[in-house]
C-alpha cells in the first residue's frame, strides 16, 4: 500500500485519538487499596463519614495542628492551590473539599481542627476522633504516625507520613497531590485529575 492510500486511515485514527494524551491516562492510584469507609468527628462535633462528604472530590491530608512546620506549609499549599484552581475553573474547584485528618487526637479536639483547617481554606474540613478511629483510618490510607518522646515541658511531636491523596466522589484513590511542591503544583494536579 502506498502512503497516499494509507493517508485516510491515518487521518481517521488521528481523529479518534484524544488531543491531550493525559486525558486518556489512567489515574496513577486507580485500583490501589487506599482509603475506605470512616466515621470521625467534624469541627462542629457532629459525625463525618466518607458518605456524608457527598459526591465531592477530597484532598485528604493527615497531620496535626501542633506541627511546627510541615503541616501548616502543606495545608497552605493545598488551600492556595485550590484558590488558583478556583480562578481557572470555578466549577471544577467547587467539586473539591480539602480534608485535614489529625494524627494527634489527644490534643486536636473538634474545635481545634476546625480552626486549623478553615485557616487555610474556607471549605476545608478538620476531622478528629478517638485514638482507635484515627489509627484505623491512618492504616487504611497507609499513613504512618507515631507519637514522639515528651519534652521536659510535656510537649511532644508526632512523626508522620507527608502524603496528600486525591480521592474521587466514591472515595476511591486517584492520585497523590504534591503539596510539598507548592500551590501551583497542587492546582495543576487537581486540574489534571478532577473530572
- Rounded distance between C-alpha atoms, residue 143 and residue 135, angstroms: 9
Nearest CA to 127 among 114, 144, 143, 136?
Answer: 114
Q: What is the largest CA-CA distance in the chain?
A: 82
Cβ neighbours of 38 (radius 10 Å): 21
Q: Is 71 annotated in some ligand binding site?
A: yes
Alpha helices in the chain (DSSP H): 3-16, 70-88, 90-94, 110-118, 131-140, 183-193
- Rounded distance between C-alpha atoms, residue 154 and residue 183, angstroms: 34
Alpha helices in 25-171 (DSSP H): 70-88, 90-94, 110-118, 131-140
Tell me, rounded to whole angstroms, the distance of Cα 6 from its chain centroid.
47
- Rounded distance between C-alpha atoms, residue 175 and residue 164, angstroms: 9
Tell me, rounded to whole angstroms, the distance of Cα 78 from its chain centroid.
8
Q: Is 121 annotated in some ligand binding site?
A: no
- Residues contributing to the annotated binding site: 67, 71, 160
- Residues contributing to the annotated binding site for Cu cation: 67, 71, 160
Amino acid at each position: 500500500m502506498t502512503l497516499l492510500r494509507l493517508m485516510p486511515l491515518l487521518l481517521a485514527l488521528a481523529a479518534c485519538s484524544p488531543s491531550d494524551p493525559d486525558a486518556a491516562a489512567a489515574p496513577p492510584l486507580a485500583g490501589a487499596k487506599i482509603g475506605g469507609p470512616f466515621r470521625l468527628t467534624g469541627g462542629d462535633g457532629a459525625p463525618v463519614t466518607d458518605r456524608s462528604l457527598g459526591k465531592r472530590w477530597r484532598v485528604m491530608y493527615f497531620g496535626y495542628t501542633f506541627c511546627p512546620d510541615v503541616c501548616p506549609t502543606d495545608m497552605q499549599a493545598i488551600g492556595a492551590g485550590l484558590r488558583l484552581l478556583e480562578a481557572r475553573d470555578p466549577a471544577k474547584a467547587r467539586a473539591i473539599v480539602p480534608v485535614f485528618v489529625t494524627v494527634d487526637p489527644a490534643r486536636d479536639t473538634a474545635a481545634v481542627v476546625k480552626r486549623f483547617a478553615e485557616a487555610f481554606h474556607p471549605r476545608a474540613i478538620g476531622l478528629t476522633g478517638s485514638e482507635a478511629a484515627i489509627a484505623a483510618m491512618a492504616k487504611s490510607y497507609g499513613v504512618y504516625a507515631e507519637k514522639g518522646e515528651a519534652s521536659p515541658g510535656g510537649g511532644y511531636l508526632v512523626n508522620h507520613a507527608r502524603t496528600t491523596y486525591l480521592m474521587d466522589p466514591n472515595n476511591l484513590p486517584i492520585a497523590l497531590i504534591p503539596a510539598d511542591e507548592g500551590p501551583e503544583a497542587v492546582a495543576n494536579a487537581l486540574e489534571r485529575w478532577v473530572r
